[in-house]
Amino acid sequence: MPMENRNKAEAPTDTLGTTAPSTGGFAIGTIHRSDFFRGVSVLMGGTIMAQLIPLLVLPVLSRLYTPESFAVVALVMMVASIAGPVSTGYYEQAITNPRSVRRARALAFIAMTCTVLSTLVIIFALCVAHARIARALTLDDGGLWLYALPLALCAGSIANIMNYWLLRAGKHGLQSSVKLLYACCNAALAITLGTFFSGQGLLIGFMGAVTLSTLWGLFSAYRHGMRPTRLPFKRYGLPLMRHYREFPLFGSLPATLNNIALQWPLLLITAHYTLTVAGHFSVIRNLLTGGLMLVALCIGQVLMKHLNARIHAGLPLWPFFSKVMAVVALFGVAGGVMLYTVGPWFLRFYLGEGWEESGTVLRTLAISSPLVLLGVSLAPALLALRRIRVMGLWQVFYMLASLGLLLFVALPFSQFLGVLVVTECVVYLVYIAAICRCVRQHDQGRTKRG
C-alpha cells in the first residue's frame, strides 16, 4: 500500500472517514505535500478535460437533438445521482481506510452487493409502477426510456466503487482515464448516432459511454489488486458493516438528501411544465453547476488543507478564512455579472436556433451563482473543524426548502424559476452564515483555552 494511504489508515478518523488531527499530522502533511498536490493536479486535470469535451461538442449536439432529448438524459442522470449514495451504502468511501487488502476487498464487495440489490429493487418498481410513473411525469411516449435507469444506476455505482479502489492504489491517472473515456465515448456515440441513425442517440450514447467506462474501471481495478473475495457474511461481513456503519448513516443519507434537493426542481419542471422547458433548464443547470462545482472543489480542497495546517499550528482561522471568503465572493459576483449580461447572447450563438429560452434560464440562475460558489467553496471548513453535523443539518434544511417549491408549480415557468433562485439565495446565505459562525466559535474557544 502507498505510504500516503497507510498513514491515512493509521490516523484517527471522524464519522465520515476524514483524517482527524494527530500529533504528527502536520509534519506528515508537510512531507507528503508534493505528492498530494501531484495527485490533485492529475485528478483535476482529468476532470477539467472530461468537462471540456461535452462543452465543446454541445453546439453539435444542440443541432442534432431537441431539448426534449436532453431532458430525457437529464432525468436518467437525476435518478442515478439521487439513488447512487443509497445504492452502495456509501461503503466505497471506506475502501481507502483499512490497512488490510482483504478488508478493503470485502468493503468493495459489500458495496457492489448493495448496488445489485438496489438495481433489482428499481427494476421491480418499474415493472409494477411504470405506467403510473409515466403519467405522473406526463411522458407522452410512455416513458420507455425509464428502463435505462437500472443500468445507469448499476454501472455508475460500480464505476464509483472502482474509482475508490484506484484511489486506494494511488492510480490517479487511471481515475482520470475513466472520466475521459466516458466523456469521449459519450460525445462520439451521440454525434455518430444523431447524424446517421437514431433520434434517441443522445440517450443511447450516454448509456454506452457509462457501460464502457465502467468496464474500463473494472479492468483497471483488477490490474491493481481488486479481486472477488469469499465473504462469510455472519462471521466477517456483518461485523465489518457494523464497524463502518457511520458511512451509510452519516454519509449516505445526508448525500442523498443533498442530491434530492439539487435535482428536485428538474423533477417538478418535468411534471408540471413541458419537456422542452425541462430540456432548456437541464442543459443550463448542468453547465452552470458543473463549472461552479469544479471551481469550488479546487478552492475548497486548498482551503481545507490550510485550515488544517493552522489548526495544527494553533493559529487563529478567521483572519485567513475571511480573506479567502472575500476573494471568492468578489470572483463569484464578477462571474455572475458576466453570465447575466453576456451569457444569453453567447448561448444564442453557441447553441443555435431553437435554444433562445436557454438564455433566459441562464440569466435568472446567474443571480444565485455567486452564493452557490461561495457556499460550496467554504463548506470544507466544516470538515476541517469536524462539524459534520452542521453540514448534515443544512442538507436537511436545503431539501425541505426545495420541497417547498411544490407550492409554486402553478406559476408561469419564469416566475417559478424566480422562486427557485430566491430559495437558493436564502439557503446558501444560511449555509455561509453557519460556516462563519463555526469558524468564529473555534477561534473564540481557542482564545479561552489559551
- More reliable by pLDDT, 27 or 85: 85
Mean residue pLDDT across the chain = 82
The more confident residue out of 60 and 8 is 60
Say which range, 80-89, 138-147, 384-393, has the weakest mean pLDDT: 138-147
Q: Answer yes or no: is pLDDT of 9 > 50.
A: no
- What pLDDT sits at residue 449? 65
Structure confidence by residue, pLDDT tens digits, 370-428 = 999 999 999 888 877 878 778 878 888 998 999 999 999 999 999 999 999 999 999 99
Predicted confidence (pLDDT) per residue in 194-211, tens digit: 988 766 888 999 999 999
**Is pLDDT above 70 for 340?**
yes
Q: Which three cell numbers stand for residue 196?
A: 446517421
Residue 297 has pLDDT above 80, yes or no: no
